[in-house]
Structure 1
């Protein structure tokens, strides 16, 4: 087995000291020089990398000009991805938050007739450069950011209808399933592919987390009853604030 990198070993030591309550939430950690001495004489750069890892995991937090502190515990939302939520007749995020006793809201910005990039076109089963409606979302739980996403719908599918704008018109905010039903398209299922990742600068700013913080990225595509992709989205969720749980129906 390869030897564990020094910064991972130091991160484990810091976790242990926090778990033993040597340092409690809100406490300021000793200087990197002192921690380097206490961690077997490693370099301060090793301490910095260990602290950055723990900051990305929500265990520590850095304060500009002040130092590094043990982070206050945050409530971690348990978000259930479930077909039953889709069947409730309201947007899934609002249903998810309602199940947790929270108010789910969102802000959005839509651009119509945006040429589809290659990867998006492949997911939608259209040609690269075909026009799409792109909508960027920021989802909030009781006013706090927990999720962002970018949604793409083929303009050839909804153009000229009352549902062409996901968040505009008489059917605004109904969600993909409800809106597509208004134009005679039955959405039967979605495919989601989750992957772990780290927040880039823009994602960190929107989610209110540190750059490099752990996130869950979900690639989701909705399909109609004839197998046609009708919407695809890239969803980014803060791992420190949300646990993603999948509920799988079982036929009797």
Structure 2
């Protein structure tokens, strides 16, 4: 795929319809980029341990400044997984659905509602074994870029990579992890000064595999049904 084809994604007006079809018919996981760290031994795909907690993240995308972008956040020093880039989301509270949880968390973290939001589908749940969460990633398109007022207790920076940038294989590398005397590598996505790795990279890997399948499929698809709109 050439650099010109990366940028071509920004000219696809019916991207939501096409990507929704690709997500609904995913390739085998072995065909997605292997973004799990060394020594993970496939644990991001479960099975989850007894007593695990459930969480959801919103993989929100929108068109802004002529490009399709993702909404991501940099976690501040005081939180778990500090200085890591992730998708907005968190624990599913009692009585909530995954959709309700990720919409609530998006608004709490970024100070802006993720609405109107059009659900494209769910990616494969990811087990974050370090914190014992099974995370459901929901992909949605927003009608416009939100006006962000991030909560400084939860967000150090709003990170907005474009899909075109994430299609470029040159932005993929390795993150070095040091745990005492143990050192190992994790595949990562390099965006500016950030290295996106771990469970977030696993989610990005599957998302971008779906984007590549969408670009390879030239057949037209219809508009998604109106029932796909997210709501509380």
TM-score w.r.t. length of structure 2: 0.24
Q: RCO greater where, 1 or 2, for CA within 8 Å and sep 6 or more?
A: 2
Q: Which has the higher strand share?
A: 1
